[in-house]
Amino acid sequence: MIDRLELNGYKGYDPAALLYTGKSKHVYDVIRKIRFSFVRKTTLSLISRFAYYFPNIYISLSNPDKVVYTKGLSLVLSALVENKLYNNNKILAHSLADKILDRAIPSSGLWGHDISYWIGNKFISNQTPNIITTYFALSSLLDLAEHQSAYKQIVKTKIKSALNIFPFIKSENNNRGCFMYTPHTDYHVHNANLLFASLLARCVSLDLIEKKYSDIVESAINYSLTDFKESGLYRYAGNPTPNNSIDNYHTGYILRSLHAIINYLPPLVTSDIKDFENQLFNYYCNTFIRDYVYKYPKKSPSVIETHSLSESIIILSLYGHKLDYNARLEYIDAINRTANMLYKPRLGYFINNIKFICPHIAIKDYTEMPRWSTAWMINALSRDFTSIS
């Protein structure tokens, strides 16, 4: 898979790129000028649904850009320094690190999404720092720093810039807070909040930032866990900008963030946090690991996809030891069945997804997604599974 990415220069399609580049960009610009809100929203929704259900046709019509994605480079770099792969891949690893650093936004030194996009009615330029892209870039450089300590100083400088750039909005009682996705949005996204908090926890543990930032990590945990408890949902975003959608990989991000924080900052860990971690892992298994690895909960449309499959493999590497023997076998069987559906040996890659319209009718999306699917699968397969072998 890495050879295939190298051959294509890490360029490729991405779900966001289908809608915001090529001919689609011009169409979207026209539609957004429609005065009537209902007509505008309905038209945008129809186009998005067509792109989702019939991506192959949509790509041929809209000619979206093939782009190099920083997150994809970062995921592959992290894979190369995992599980004893580094010694055979030093040159490639440092080449990827150089590419990642070259893609930083000049004005901030941080990273944005690699294409410009919209959040609601707000336009977000690719020169706008993005907390998720920045998290993955800095995490991969820290992974490489385990072999080349010089990268620690780079991360030290950039994490301090990030703390100045990404807003941390505190609630009224002041012991809860949430990191914002960009400097210009107020969307309270749980996975973004906790992923960045886990990066801060890692930096505190490495003495790259002061111990006082442990308090911010604790506030971020308090915000998200309180919202989960009050809403009764492990939802995408919390108050005051709630979004009740739930899916496999965003749930996995939250679970893995807590796992990292618990490991990096043990003094913060309370029985409530450990209980919540166990509850969330059980929820993940019961909700997404069934006969296949699913993207959505049971009552939602049945979709299997490479991104969610990759997440399930990463979760297995971290938490598989908590499962009893039979539960572990069922989990692995679901992974194998899903992988056999999504991997196409003739094509040489994992396809994007399969949507089950009904038990006997499915729509297969054969789009090759370097960042969305391939890089995630490379990252997942590089993990250490000795704890469950």
State pLDDT tens for residues 269-305.
999 999 999 999 999 999 999 999 999 998 877 999 9
Structure tokens at 313: 């493999």
Angstrom distance (rounded) from CA 110 to CA 170: 23
Return the SS3 of 124: strand
Report the pLDDT value the prediction gives residue 358, as an integer from 0 to 100.
84
DSSP state of 65: P
DSSP-assigned beta bridge partners for residue 303: 355
230 burial type by CB count under 10 A (0-12 exposed, 13-18 middle, 19+ buried): exposed
CA-angle at 143, arms to 137 and 147, nearest 5° = 130
Nearest to 111 by CA among 170, 168, 169, 68: 68
Phi, psi of 343 (to 5 degrees): -85, 130
Three-state SS letters, 39-61: HHHHHHHHHHHHHHHCHHHHHHH
Report the pLDDT value the prediction gives residue 159, as an integer from 0 to 100.
98
CA-angle at 128, arms to 295 and 367, nearest 5° = 35
Angstrom distance (rounded) from CA 286 to CA 225: 20
The amino acid that residue 112 corresponds to is G
Angstrom distance (rounded) from CA 64 to CA 11: 12
Report the pLDDT value the prediction gives residue 83, as an integer from 0 to 100.
62
The C-alpha R_g of the chain, in whole angstroms, comes to 20
> Looking up tokens 């949509």, which residue turns up?
58
Q: Render pLDDT for 40-99 as a digit per residue (tens, 0 to 9).
A: 989 989 999 999 999 989 999 999 999 999 999 999 999 999 767 899 999 999 999 999
Q: Whole-model pTM?
A: 0.95
The residue ranges of the chain whose pLDDT is under 50 are: none
Decide: 186 and 180 in contact? Cβ < 8 Å: yes
